[in-house]
């Protein structure tokens, strides 16, 4: 009897609901610079880079860690796909006057190469963007154990305990601190996919940025891997983000770097977070196969049914819920976009993917007996929202059927 009561209490406690979170300051913030003698209490945090192997440092040398604890406001551990997010914005304020130029867009990887590199491309817009990333950890640390005064870690490239993180083309989280700037074979160059690039209305692109300028970072929710990161953070109750910029004193030029106020500043505005969405409980009061929270999030009412295809994309609302797609957008749907043989003989299956879903590619000779393919690796970022499975082992002329299954 006691157990039943406990279960009832627990169910009511985790009852999900819409949330509109406004953090006026981070739960923690820290200038991630290896020689920072007062981690967690400095009033400002600068972002800059150290190019070249000789520096002995990560290329993204000085980063800025922001942490927002959501667990007191949004129920945790519902499962990542049960967090629907409509908006996520970080704001941060510049503390130092006119020492860098505003660049509102991403600069190609080749613009960071040495000018004598055969692959070098000039940076056609002045300045370097300010990029927002996720956060990764090593040496046993995690988002719950890495705090403002935790050890930085070894001061050599690729070893810091807490770093700017994004996803590689395999969809795997990676340290982006050395995505460019090193010739050491341990650090091959690769393009990054920032979660957001800072925008300001204080000045036009290419102009010097005055102190007090506010930068906004709207997280790119149309990238399923970014959305997934946010969902996982809400599931754990701790959102961690990292600001970084590849600003450097280039060839005798004046030092250029953005510097932000932290929550420890007495003079400037600390970073903030706005996060809006819904957590989805199992409650389905109208018994149509759609959780009420999901219906309210997408439709604003409970009038639509599970067997209905509201956006007419060929997939029912119930299956859009299962697939993590948007029932109001025809372009958001689990569908194979392309399948076929490439000129090199490999087979490609391309499909739209969603946040926090696990896909299995299955093959069949007869459309009756299906089995999972052995090589299950997926390739991301061919274009946003799409993913590809590629197989070079299939003999030419073989006829197979393929399907994508959500596990
Ligand atoms: Ca630029
Ligand atoms: Ca319902
Ligand atoms: Ca539909
Ligand atoms: Ca849809």
Distance CA 99, CA 82 (A): 43
CA 320 to centroid of ligand 3, rounded, Å: 6
Per the prediction, the chain carries an average pLDDT of 92
For 100-127, the pLDDT digits (tens) are 999 999 999 999 999 999 999 999 999 9
Distance CA 324, CA 173 (A): 21
What average pLDDT does the segment 12-35 reach? Answer: 86
High-pLDDT (> 70) share of the chain, %: 94
Give the pLDDT band of residue 10 (cuts 50, 70, 90).
Answer: very low
Reply yes or no on whether the pLDDT at 63 is more than 70.
yes
CA 49 to centroid of ligand 1, rounded, Å: 14
CA 285 to centroid of ligand 4, rounded, Å: 23
What average pLDDT does the segment 234-245 reach? Answer: 98
Lowest mean pLDDT among 8-22, 132-146, 178-192, 287-301: 8-22
pLDDT at 8: 40
Question: Would you list the domain boundaries of the chain?
Answer: 18-278, 280-323, 336-406
Check if the beta carbon of residue 128 is closer than 8 Å to that of residue 247: yes
What average pLDDT does the segment 330-343 reach? Answer: 90
> Which residue would you say has higher pLDDT here, 242 or 11?
242
For 252-267, the pLDDT digits (tens) are 566 789 999 999 999 9
Residues surrounding ion ligand 2 at CB below 5 Å: 284, 286, 288, 290, 292
CA 86 to centroid of ligand 2, rounded, Å: 20
Model pTM above 0.85: yes
pLDDT at 323: 96
For 180-215, the pLDDT digits (tens) are 999 989 999 999 999 999 999 999 999 999 999 999
């Amino acid at each position: 009897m006691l157990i039943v009561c406990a279960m009832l209490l627990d169910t009511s406690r985790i009852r999900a609901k819409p949330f509109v979170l406004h953090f006026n300051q981070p739960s923690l913030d820290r200038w991630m610079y290896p020689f920072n003698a007062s981690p967690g209490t400095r009033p400002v945090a600068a972002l800059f880079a150290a190019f070249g192997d000789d520096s002995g440092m990560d290329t993204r040398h000085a980063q800025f860690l922001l942490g927002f604890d959501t667990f007191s406001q949004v129920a945790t551990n519902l499962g990542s796909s049960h967090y629907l997010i409509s908006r996520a914005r970080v704001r941060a304020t510049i503390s130092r006057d006119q020492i860098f130029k505003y660049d509102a867009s991403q600069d190609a990887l080749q613009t960071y190469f040495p000018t004598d590199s055969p692959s070098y491309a000039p940076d056609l817009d002045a300045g370097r963007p300010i990029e927002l990333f996720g956060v990764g950890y090593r040496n046993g640390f995690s988002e719950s154990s890495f705090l403002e005064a935790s050890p930085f870690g070894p001061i050599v490239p690729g070893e810091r305990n807490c770093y700017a993180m994004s996803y590689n083309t395999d969809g795997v989280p990676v340290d982006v601190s050395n995505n460019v700037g090193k010739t050491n074979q341990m650090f091959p160059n690769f393009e990054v996919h920032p979660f957001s690039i800072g925008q300001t209305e204080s000045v036009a692109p290419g102009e010097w940025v005055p102190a007090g300028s506010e930068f906004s970072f709207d997280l790119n929710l149309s990238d399923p891997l970014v959305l997934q990161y946010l969902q996982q953070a809400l599931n754990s109750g701790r959102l961690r983000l990292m600001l970084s910029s590849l600003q450097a004193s280039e060839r005798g030029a004046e030092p250029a770097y953005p510097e932000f106020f932290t929550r420890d500043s007495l003079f400037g505005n600390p970073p903030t977070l706005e996060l809006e969405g819904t957590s989805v409980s199992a409650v389905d009061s109208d018994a149509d196969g759609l959780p009420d929270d999901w219906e309210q999030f997408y439709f604003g009412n409970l009038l639509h049914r599970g067997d209905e295809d509201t956006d007419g994309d060929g997939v029912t609302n119930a299956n859009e819920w299962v697939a993590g797609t948007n029932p109001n957008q025809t372009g958001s749907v689990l569908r194979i976009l392309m399948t076929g043989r490439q000129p090199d003989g490999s087979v490609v299956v391309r499909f739209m993917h969603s946040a926090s879903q696990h896909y299995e590619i299955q093959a069949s000779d007869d459309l009756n007996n299906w089995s999972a393919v052995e090589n299950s690796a997926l390739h991301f970022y061919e274009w946003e929202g799409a993913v590809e499975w590629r197989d070079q082992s299939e003999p030419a002329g073989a006829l197979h059927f393929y399907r994508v299954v959500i596990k």
